[in-house]
Amino acid sequence: MLSDLFIALYIACAGFVAAGVLGSFYQLLTNQPPRFNFPVDSIVGTITSIAVCLFAGPFIIMRNAIRGRRIEGRPIGWLVASSTIAGMWSMCSGLVVMQFALGLFGIL
């Protein structure tokens, strides 16, 4: 039981790390932080933005929650709710990342 909890925590951490790396890489390429509102200039740009939002979502949520708490003075409950949502999202995306990594390792 406790080992299952540690595995879930590890997967959530892997998902959040992947979100941070992807969000930082996006910011490096575009000189602007990733956001949930994406431009609809072209179909390729839209699909790329949706993919970035899918995997960098926890990073975007936590960045906005921390900024909202510091700058706008939002209540602590807002930060806790945002952290919970980002944690669950990280677990889902971490599961995809880990399955991809294990599949890639199995091929090699």
Looking at the predicted structure, is the pLDDT value of residue 108 above 80? no
CA separation for the pair 77, 66 (Å, rounded): 12
Structure-token pair, residue 29: 């390429």
Which residue ranges make up each domain of the chain? 2-107
Task: Tokens for 40, please give them.
Answer: 């609809």
Residue 40: pLDDT band with limits 50, 70, 90: confident
pTM for this predicted structure: 0.84
Q: How many percent of the chain have pLDDT more than 90?
A: 64
Q: How far is CA 53 from the centre of its chain?
A: 8
Tell me the pLDDT of the chain averaged across its residues: 90
State the sign of the Cα–Cα–Cα–Cα dihedral 20, 48, 86, 72: positive
Q: For residues 7 and 84, is the Cβ–Cβ distance under 8 A? A: no
